[in-house]
Structure 1
Amino acid sequence: MREKIIIILVILLSLNQTIKVYAQLKSSEIIQGPFKIDLYPDGKIYIEQNNDEISTGGCPTTLLILEYQKNNQIKKETIDEYYEDGACVKIASIFFSKIHNKEYVFVMQKWEQNMPAINIYDNSYDTIAYTKNKDGKLCIDLNISKDHNLSEIDGTVADGKKVHYKYKTAAVIKKYLEQKYQ
């Protein structure tokens, strides 16, 4: 009888741990931030990964979230969603900068692609700029985001050619932005 009770307890404990692990895999989690954002009073911005919504490629949904107070209520808005592109997206950096005395949020995405069968070993980068529009909403600044220097490949591409992207860090991009847009 005592052995049966011990076995049942062991099964219940292991089942409890399995449920906890499954629940952790199914939940959303903040993977970067939160960071205070001067564009909104008492506002913060962060990257959230939603493991509930796995894409067809097996990648979790990655979101840029803004939280702020308005009329004594906390508002939570999804500003952008980042997608897989041959690999799951990783957020390499979030940083802030002023351009023409206007506050900006920058999000650098990165995809690590290693495909030995076709000789591709590269990291793809894309940095997106966000600021408030004339309606006071945080949105993509297309003029800056389409700057060809903010999106590139670093590594070996299909024809074996080596490509080197020099804007892989927030510090280097900030310096570039200061030179080009000030």
Structure 2
Amino acid sequence: MNKLQYFLLFSIVSIFCGNSNLSYAQETQQNDIIQGPFKTSLYPEGKIYFVKENDATPDDRCQMIAFMLEYKQDHIVKKEKIDEYEENGGCVEVASVFFDKIHNKPYIFVMQKWEHSFPPAIQMGSDSYEIRAYTKNKEGKLVIDADVSADPNFEGIDGIVDDDVNPERHYKYKTAADVKRYLKKKYH
């Protein structure tokens, strides 16, 4: 094999190896932002966003979603995972992120949604919702407010379920506007 043939063979092998590594890197890229970033008055120099955590195996169809906070403190950028949302009978999605105040204290609200579908022959399907409320604690850390998040109206099912008494359910708070109206009535 002469030098030209060796060079061509080496170039072709390098291209194939480089392309396969490149496509593998794209498939396994970590933590793509799926919502945000959003500015928040809780951290004027910061932002919140949501990422899919790509720790699932190839046969998993659902991935966890992480709620991330990024802010500057003493000229250093800090990143913190505030919460995680995971599969619950269906893949989780962040349906809405919105901001409001309760008793003049700023909050971040995150609405999670899970779609539950069944084979067409069963003709049932529903969506589950859960809303979590976050604010700063006494130490100045962004945390879930367990009391507000435990509000019974912050979770529900919308659709057809396997229940002979009440097979069709309608959840009232499927949008940020619905929840804000409810917050205004109950907490303001």
In the superposition, the TM-score normalised over structure 2's length comes to: 0.84
| 8 Å contact from structure 1 (residues 57, 84) kept in 2 | no
2:65 to 39, 52, 62: 62
**What is the aligned partner in structure 1 of residue 147 from structure 2?**
143
Match of 1:101 in 2: 104
Match in the other structure for 1:35: 38
| Corresponding pairs, count | 177
What runs of 5+ residues in structure 1 fail to find an aligned partner? none
Kindly report structure 1 stretches of 4+ aligned residues shifted beyond 4 Å: 11-18
Secondary structure at 2:163 match in 1: coil
- Structure-2 separation of matches of 1:101 and 1:45: 21
Instruction: Specify whether residues 18 and 122 from structure 1 end up closer, same or farther in structure 2 by C-alpha distance, changes over 3 A only.
Output: farther
Q: Contact between 2:64 and 2:92, CA under 8 Å: does it hold in 1?
A: no
TM-aligned CA distance change 1:181 to 1:15, over 3 Å: same
Measured on the aligned residues, the alpha-carbon RMSD in Å equals 2.4
TM-score norm. by structure 1 comes to 0.87
Q: Deviations over 1:21-49 (max 9, x none)?
A: 43223121100000011111311000011
Aligned-partner Cα distance in 2 for 1:17–1:154: 46
Higher strand share: 1
1:177 paired residue among 165, 168, 183 = 183
Query: What is the rounded CA distance, in whole Å, between the counterparts of 1:43 and 1:22 in structure 2?
Result: 32
The structure-2 alpha-carbon separation of the partners of 1:67 and 1:113, relative to structure 1 and needing over 3 Å to count, comes to: same
> How far 1:157 sits from its partner (Å)?
0.3
> Where does residue 47 of structure 1 map in the other structure?
50
